[in-house]
Amino acid sequence: MPSTSSRRLPRGRHALAPEEVARIQRERLCRAMAEVMSEKGYAATAVEDVLKRAGVSRQTFYRIFTSKQDCFLASFETACAASLDRMLEPGGDGDPLERCEAALSQYLRTVAAELPFARLFLVEAYAAGPEAIRRRARRETEMTAALADLLGVRDDGGRFTCRMVVSAICAMAAPPVARKDLDALRAVGPAMTAHVRRLWAAGAFGAGTGPR
């Protein structure tokens, strides 16, 4: 998830290219949107709140985004892309279950490290309208495909089990994220990975899985 969006532009004259200035301002606005929304929720967040948190002008905001929802969707996409990338970082060596457990643990660590951005995906997307909900569903589909690849799942039954696991981990993580309860969020990982092992042992991930 983004870590440079709070960077402030140098005061006075500077040598930054216009494209770099726009990138920094966009990142700051995305982070401000996430931070304010984690405190007030989507419905109660106004563009003015985001401007104050980011320290940019209204003119700058509307040069980059067309609306509050447009800024929300940009923040949402930035957070989701980064969390999916980090979920896949551990997936090299080890057996399928070890790769899966490493990926789920990495995902939850990323969520814990960036609670405001995590809330956009796990909680606020449902309040932000049909387009946000559609994008959330697409991201869950991408997470399901990534999990299936890690586990070597090939058939429809196994992919459906992967879909259930992804939906469950998102549903279980959402309340702790909303409460900013890191202890409860950390508890999700061991419970989920233990259940994935039980599903694997039962052959729920399809042909080629389960006990040998």
Q: Could you tell me which of 69, 73, 75, 36 has the C-alpha nearest to residue 54?
A: 36
Q: Same domain, yes or no, for 133 and 169?
A: yes
Specify if 97 maps to a domain. yes
Cα 122 to Cα 148: distance, rounded to the nearest angstrom: 21
- Which domain CATH number covers 47? 1.10.10.60
Q: Inform me whether the pLDDT recorded for 1 exceeds 60.
A: no
Q: Which DSSP state fits 212? A: -
Burial class (CB in 10 A: 0-12, 13-18, 19+), 41: middle
Task: Give tens-digit pLDDT for 57-108.
Answer: 999 999 999 999 999 999 999 888 777 777 766 555 678 999 899 899 989 9
174 and 160 both lie in a single domain: yes
Cα(211)–Cα(34) distance, rounded to whole angstroms? 44
Contact (CB, 8 A) for 70 and 50: no
Neighbours of 77 (CB within 10 A): 15
- The pLDDT mean for the chain works out to 87
Residues 83 and 42 in one domain: no
Q: Average pLDDT in the 170-177 region?
A: 96
Q: Print the domain residue range for 114.
A: 70-201
CA atoms within 13 A on the CB side of 192: 26
Q: Are residues 48 and 134 in the same domain?
A: no
Amino acid 129: pLDDT: 93
**CA dihedral defined by 105, 86, 181, 5, rounded to 10 degrees?**
170
Lowest mean pLDDT among 109-113, 144-148, 204-208: 204-208
Whether the pLDDT of residue 20 is over 80: the answer is: yes
132 and 42 together in one domain: no
Counting the structural domains of the chain, the total is: 2
CATH of the domain at 121: 1.10.357
Same domain for 157 and 55, yes or no, is no
**8 inside domain:** no
Q: Is residue 103 domain-shared with residue 121, that is, in the same domain?
A: yes
Per the rule left: phi > 0, alpha: psi between -120 and 50, beta: everything else, 208 is: left
- Residue 10 resides in a domain: no
Q: Indicate whether 181 and 88 sit together in one domain.
A: yes
How many whole angstroms separate alpha carbon 117 and alpha carbon 132? 14
Segment 164-188 mean pLDDT: 95
pTM for this model (two decimals): 0.83
* Measured distance CA(126)–CA(121) in Å, rounded: 9
The answer on 152 and 123 residing in a single domain is yes
